[in-house]
Amino acid sequence: MSAEAKVLVTGGTGMIGRCLVDALIERGCAVRIASLDDPARAHPKAEFRRMDLTRLDECLAACEGMDRVFHLAGIKGSPLMTAKKPASFFVPTISFNTNMMEAARRRGVKRYLFTSTIGVYAPAEVFHEDDVWKTFPSPNDRFAGWAKRMGELQAEAYRIEHGWEDIAIVRPANVYGRHDNFDPANAMVIPSLIARAVGGEDPLVVWGDGSPVRDFIHAKDVAAGMLLAMKNPKATPVNLGSGEGVSVRRIVDIILSNMERPPKVVWDSSKPSGDKKRLMDLSKAKVMGFSPKVSIEEGIRDTMDWYRTHKDSQPGRYNVFTQGPS
């Protein structure tokens, strides 16, 4: 991507977005961020615009003058929270995915990246990109899976009707890192466990027996994969994962190993554990040169160090589940 490129990053104040914006600014790009978060979360060298992407007029304004758009904005919450408040997740997700792609098309954006999710897949041990439309999303990811599938289908529709080939689609696995949502009430497994352990919960109660295996990938590696995907967009999805299966029990062990006084762990087997194994096939990603760099041990250690330093001083993060529509 040329240093002169004008780039919009929706969700540029989030976990992946922060890493992506850092990389783009290091390359000399002029970056605009569209987000509902506190502006203090934005990179100081980026242009920040507080925008509601469920509104087409605001999406059109965000895309004005842009060469590239990375659409990362999303609603992040635990499976339990999305099960309790599915409309709060599903409806705005559909709206801003639809509006952003249409706005980018109308404004003549050359290249566009749509961020999908591992949640589009049906239960399986290994996820292959071409298997999605043969099945339905996992019941645990029903609303997220269908919302993101609709975004992927929109990209295909634009390719057919408008001849817009330069759309990249990435499906990140279970992403973690700095600037994540660490609220245990609606956070994913790694940030929830970190927040509770660092916060002094003892015993540390973990749902299930720790046996489920997941593909965890650090946000820096996802950002690197997005940049690669944008180099040669083909309107076909690419998995972004670590390629390594890690059990929840191992995650807990790594977190405890980074604590001076680790708590006792209680496994609550009366609670659901989720699907037994969920890994990404990275064959397509490797063809485009993708190779994740951050190990799970290094990534969790860095995330914990960052959280200890910043847990009491983080600027506001917009949360649709607690704050409602903008």
Whether 191 shows a pLDDT value over 90: the answer reads yes
Q: Identify whether 298 is part of a domain.
A: yes
pLDDT band at 159 (very low <50, low <70, confident <90, very high): very high
Q: Compute the average pLDDT of residues 47-69.
A: 97
What pLDDT was estimated at residue 67?
Answer: 97
- Count: domains in the chain: 1
Determine the structural domain holding residue 107 and report its residue range. 6-323
What pLDDT was estimated at residue 152?
Answer: 96
What pLDDT was estimated at residue 88?
Answer: 86
Q: Identify whether 165 is part of a domain.
A: yes
What pLDDT was estimated at residue 321?
Answer: 43
CB neighbour list of residue 165: distance below 8 Å, 6 or more residues apart? 159, 233, 234, 235
What pLDDT was estimated at residue 325?
Answer: 52
The rounded percent of the chain whose pLDDT value lies above 90 is 79
Which has the closest alpha carbon to 242: 280, 209, 271? 280
30-39, 198-207, 265-274, 307-316: least confidently modelled range: 307-316
pLDDT band at 77 (very low <50, low <70, confident <90, very high): low
Q: Identify whether 109 is part of a domain.
A: yes
User: Could you give the CA distance from residue 218 to residue 312 in angstroms, rounded to a whole number?
Assistant: 23
Q: What is the pLDDT of residues 45-57, one digit of tens each?
A: 999 999 999 999 9
Tokens, residue 21: 């914006």
User: Residue 93's Cα: distance from chain center in Å?
Assistant: 13
Q: Identify whether 152 is part of a domain.
A: yes
Q: What's the whole-model pTM score?
A: 0.93
Domain at 41, CATH number:
3.40.50.720
Tokens, residue 315: 């600027």
pLDDT band at 3 (very low <50, low <70, confident <90, very high): low
- HSE-CB at 256 with a 13 A cutoff on CA atoms is 15
Q: Compute the average pLDDT of residues 290-317.
A: 91
Using CA of residue 74, residue 75, residue 78, residue 84, what is the dihedral sign? negative
Q: Identify whether 1 is part of a domain.
A: no
Q: Identify whether 35 is part of a domain.
A: yes
Query: What's the mean per-residue pLDDT of the chain?
Result: 92
